[in-house]
A and B are shown apart, each in its own frame.
Chain A
Amino acid sequence: MARYAIQILPREVILDTQGRAVEQTLKLQNLTVQSCLVGKYIELDLGESGAEGFQKAKSIAEKVLCNPLIERFTVQTLNDEVKL
Chain B
Amino acid sequence: MKKVGVIRFPGTNCDRDVFDWVSGHNQKPEFLWHLDQFHSTDYEMIVLPGGFSYGDYLRSGALAARSPVMKSVREFAELGRPVLGICNGFQILCEAELLPGALVKNEHQKFIDEWAGLQIENPHSHFGARYESGNRLRLPIAHGDGRFYAPAKELKKIEDQGLVWLRYQNNPNGSLNNIAGVMNQQKNVVGLMPHPERASHFWMGGIDGKDFL
* A residues whose Cβ falls under 8 Å from a Cβ of B: 11, 15, 17-18, 21, 40, 64-65, 67, 69-70
Which among B106, B107, B109, B150 is the interface contact of A69 at CB below 8 angstroms? Answer: B150
- Asked if B62 CB lies within 8 Å of chain A CBs, one says yes
- B125: min CB distance to chain A, Å: 27
Q: Is B156 an interface residue (CB 8 A)?
A: no
> Please, which residues of chain A bring their CB within 8 A of the CB of B151?
11, 69
Contact segment of B97-105, B135-143, B188-196, B199-207 = B97-105
Q: Could you tell me the distance between the alpha carbons of A15 and B150 in the complex, rounded to whole angstroms? A: 11
Bin chain B's interface residue count. 10 to 19
Given pairs A17-B109, A67-B62, A69-B151, 10 additional interface contacts (CB within 8 A): A15-B104, A15-B149, A17-B106, A21-B109, A64-B58, A64-B62, A64-B66, A65-B58, A69-B101, A70-B102
Known: A15-B149, A64-B66. A69 touches B102 (CB 8 A): yes
User: Can you sample 22 A-B contacts with CB below 8 Å?
Assistant: A11-B151, A15-B104, A15-B149, A17-B104, A17-B105, A17-B106, A17-B107, A17-B109, A40-B58, A64-B58, A64-B62, A65-B58, A67-B59, A67-B62, A67-B102, A69-B101, A69-B102, A69-B150, A69-B151, A69-B154, A70-B102, A70-B104
